Every structure is written in C-alpha cells, then in structure tokens.
Chain A
Amino acid sequence: MCGIAGLQLKNPGLYPRLGELVVPMLDVLASRGPDSTGVAVYRHDVPPGEQKYSLCAPTPGYDWAGYVSALEAAAGVVPVEFRPQGRDGVIVTSIGPERGPELLAGIDPSVRLFGYGTAIEVYKDVGPAAEVCARYGVEGMGGYQAIGHTRMATESAVTTEHSHPFAVSPDLALVHNGSFSNYASVRRRLAANGVRFDTDNDSEVAARYIAREMAAGADLTDALRGVMKVFDGFFTLLVAAEQSLAIVRDSFACKPMVVAETADYVAVASEYVALADLPGVDKADVFEPMPEEIYTWQA
C-alpha cells in the first residue's frame, strides 16, 4: 500500500495556497504509507533560461556554500543562487539540463539530485507526511501544481533515495502506488541502452522508461500507453510534467484512485478522504478513473 495525491490549480488565486492545500492531503494518506514522504512542487519563479536543481545533502549541516563555489568554478563564471530548504536546497542557475546533472555529480557525488527543470522542486525523505512536509516548509510553498507520495515500501529499502517522487528528466515527476513484477527485465533492457539508475526501486524504472520515451519524441500520453504495454504488475501512476498532470491504472485497477474536479482545480488521491479539506470539494465532480485509460489535464 502507498498513498498518492496530486493537485493542479486552474485558479491562479489559489497559487499561493498550493502547499497549504497539499500538505493535509498527504497527512491523511500517511495511514497508507508512513515510511517515507515526498512531494514535487511546480512553480514558475526563476527567470527565463534558468533551471532549478533540487539537491539532497549527504549529511545534516552540509557545506552548501563550498558546493556552490566549486560549481561556479567548474562551470565557468556562472552566478549560482542557492535556496536552502531544511537540510537540502535548490540551486538556481543558467546551467542547462543537458549538462547540469553530470556537472553537479562531478562536484560531489554524495549530493543527490532529486529533480530538475524550470518549474519543478522535489523534496523527499524518510518519515511520515506531517514530519517531512514540516522539515521542508512545504505548507508555505506556492505554485500551480504538485504531486506527492506516502510510501509503504514493498520492493526496495526505506531510504531517502528510494522515496518517491522519481524526477529523472526535466520537469517530469512520477509517483506510484503498486508494484511492478517485471521491472528487473525492463531495467536490464533500459540499462543495455545506456540508461543509468540511481536506485534499485521498481518505480524508478517506470520513471526512466517514460523519460526515455519522451526524450525520443513521445508525448506524456504516448509514454504512458507504452508503460501499459511494457510493464506488468499493479500500478496506479500519477505523473506530472511542466504543463500537465496524468494518471493511468493497470488493467486490474486494484490500486485505488479518486478524481475530484471543480472550476478551480483538479485533485486526485488514493482515497477521497484525502480530498475532504479542499475548498468546494463537496460540489466537485468526483469519480474513480477507469483501468487502462489515460487521463490528462493541462496546466
């Protein structure tokens, strides 16, 4: 069991309240997954041409100033801004996504890159939702879209790196409720084609698969159609891209999902109880998405 939740705001008036709306959703879903919690928050708060890199410190009290200086030196004279969030933080820089991840890994391989892009920020760690969200101040974050996950681990270890979301290409994030049964085979095939993995987690394989399909020109819907063909097992997936939110469930659909849509937002969660605090949700159109159908919403 795991909990997944997502919120895409249509009403810009709600943007400043994104974190405040999402944290209670994840808190309720902690009953489905108390091991770890993660959230990908989408907000346009950097100038055009700049990227955000969400970095996780190897130890508390990590020397971020030293890291930033080393990055500036390695990249040439690039002004780099560091925004601390709890133990971790976000680097804002003009270093593009084509060379950013490699450059960052070269500075200090023990610093982990949890997500990057023009809008996305990823915060994840071991611990129940209320605790992890408080650690990163998620409640105070604005934005137009977020997806989150509360984990009850089945396929791999309970660590910060194994937590969801998996955000492995620009502005793309995936959370998964379920377990893939053939992920080792898919992983071997991807690895043989040069795809590298950060963890041995089954959901990361799906994230890498989608990223690879999209890099080859597929749109999110096509990539998710591919997931249904290639992956076996149980899954309800929630995937966010810079401009869209999508869900897909396997043919058995035994991992739950509820959608509530109003004029102000579309909200999805494993159980309706996680949506009960959203403004106006009692007037929302509420339904369970069908198996093997891809639902997408444009931000």
Chain B
Amino acid sequence: MAGVTAVELSCAELPVREVNAALRGLPDGSVVRIAEPRGRHNLAVGLTGRLDITIAGNAGYYVAGLCDGPDVTVEGFVGWSVGENLMSGTVRVHGNASECAGASARGGLIVIDGDASSRAGISLKGGAIAIAGDTGHMSGFMAQAGIILIGGDAADSLGDSLYEAVIYVGGKIRSLGADARVEELGTDDVRRVRELVLAAGFGHVSAEDVTKVASAKNLYNFDALKDQKY
C-alpha cells in the first residue's frame, strides 16, 4: 500500500520502553508488527498516532492503555487492564483477557474474542467493550458511561453500582450487583447492540435476544432517612 510503512519490532531484542518509543516516532498510517511479546507489560501504551499495530502473541498488563488513535490487535492472551483509559481507536484480543479489561476507558472499542476475567469494564467512562465469551465477577462495577456487551455468561455481581453505562448479556447472569436491574430491551438498544455485534464480528450474538442491565438509580441520591431508627 502506498504511503504505508511496514515495521517489525521484536521484544526479544528491545526493552518495552524502546518498543514504545519507536511506536511513538512512527508516522500515521504505519503498519507495525511486534514480534515475541513474551507476556511483556505496558506494550503499545500512550500512543496518539493512527497506527495499525499487531502484537504477535501473548501479552502482559496494560496493553494499549492510554491510547488515543491506534488500532491494536493482540494475537493471544492479555494480562490485567487491557486498554485501560483508552481514549479512541480499537483494541482486539484474539485470546482471553485477565481482570479489569477496559478499565476506565473513555472511548474507542475493545473486543475480546475469548473470555474476560473479573471486573471487566470497571469504571467505564465511554466507548464500548465487546466480549465474545464469559466475564468474571464484578464486571461493569461503577461504570459511568459506554456499553459493555457480553456474548457469553456473566458471573456474580454484574453491574454493581452502575451509573449511566449499559450492559447487554447474550448468555446467563449469575447475579446482579447492588442497584443493577434488568430492563426491557428497546428498539434503540437493539440497534446499538446490532452495530456493536457487527463491529466486533460476533456471529453468535443475536441483538434481539440479549438481556439489558442498567442502573436502578436508587443509589444516585443519599437518603438521610434511610434506616432511621429514632
């Protein structure tokens, strides 16, 4: 492709700091492959360029965290907090993800093709997280804005203390967290889920058949008289 720089960086040769410095120096439109990631933490973090980055294997914590622009694909498993505080761009994980996937992300799209672990989408502030498989407990905890789509099952305390974020679940929900409730699926919901399913490429999720979880908003205001004993 004209104007496209193809670059290969290897974690077997470079420390993470140098890999990230090299990524920051690349012009928009560059196509980069990071070879032998070897589970290293903090790969491809804090990038603002329009880069197309492929991490060729299993990676560690905070992959693509704090990014504002690039499209990052991980051909394997990721450790804790993939795409933490993502601003824009996409992160796609072909394997499973550990805890806190997409924690505090403000925008962009995070797609997990496998399962996510506990606390997926904790404190989400915008954007979307799409998980093909199951999620662990406390997913969506205190999520403030954005969408979480869980193609499989959700473990305990889903959506505990939710604010304005909305969670859609294709499978079963083991239990809801405090102040989370199941709501009826509206036409707008179906449209949003359909768009997300399309973007994520989830053939197994039917937008009409998901369960919607949102905040019951009972925790929004402090009730001074609650549990008043005298």
Contact = CB atoms under 8 A, between A and B. Distances in A.
Interface stretch (B73-81, B181-189, B191-199): B73-81
Given A273-B60, A282-B58, A258 B79 contact: yes
B119 to A, nearest CB: 9
Interface in B56-95: 57-61, 76-77, 79-80, 95
A283 to B, nearest CB: 10
B82 to A, nearest CB: 12
Contacts of A256: 79-80, 98-99
Contacts of B57: 282
8 closest Cβ contacts across the A-B interface? A273-B39, A272-B39, A276-B38, A286-B77, A288-B117, A288-B98, A276-B39, A287-B96
Contacts of A277: 38
A175 to B, nearest CB: 20
B106 interface: no
A272 B79 contact: yes
Interface in B31-60: 38-41, 57-60
A228 interface: no
Given A258-B79, A271-B79, A286 B95 contact: yes
Interface in A85-110: none
Contact of A273 (B40, B95, B99, B114): B40
A290 interface: yes
B39 A275 contact: yes
Contacts, number: 64
A291 interface: yes
B151 interface: no
Interface residues of A, number: 18
B213 to A, nearest CB: 20
B58 A272 contact: yes
Contacts of B136: 253, 288, 290-291
B111 to A, nearest CB: 17
Interface of A: 251, 253, 256, 258, 271-277, 281-282, 286-288, 290-291
Given A273-B60, A286-B58, A286-B95, A253 B118 contact: yes
Interface residues of B, number: 24
Contacts of A258: 77, 79, 98
Contacts of A286: 58, 76-77, 95-96
B68 to A, nearest CB: 26
Interface string B126-145: 00000000001100000000
Contacts of B98: 256, 258, 288
Instruction: Say what secondary structure dominates the interface of chain B.
Output: loop
Interface of B: 38-41, 57-61, 76-77, 79-80, 95-96, 98-99, 114-115, 117-118, 136-137, 155
Nearest to B40: A273
Contacts of A291: 118, 136-137
Given A287-B77, A288-B117, A290-B136, A253 B99 contact: yes
A272 B60 contact: yes
Contact of B115 (A272, A282, A287): A287
Nearest to A28: B39
Contacts of B80: 256
Contact of B155 (A271, A288, A290): A290
A251 B76 CA distance: 27
Contacts of A281: 58
A110 B79 CA distance: 44
Contact of B77 (A251, A253, A272, A290): A272
A25 B54 CA distance: 26
A277 B58 CA distance: 12
16 contacts: A256-B80, A256-B99, A258-B98, A272-B39, A272-B59, A272-B77, A273-B41, A273-B60, A276-B38, A276-B39, A287-B77, A288-B96, A288-B98, A290-B118, A290-B136, A291-B137
A21 to B, nearest CB: 15
Nearest to B95: A286
A258 B117 CA distance: 11
A30 to B, nearest CB: 15
Contacts of B58: 272, 276, 281-282, 286
A271 B117 contact: no
Contacts of A282: 57-58, 76
B61 to A, nearest CB: 8
A253 B98 CA distance: 11
Contacts of B59: 272
B218 to A, nearest CB: 24
B172 to A, nearest CB: 15
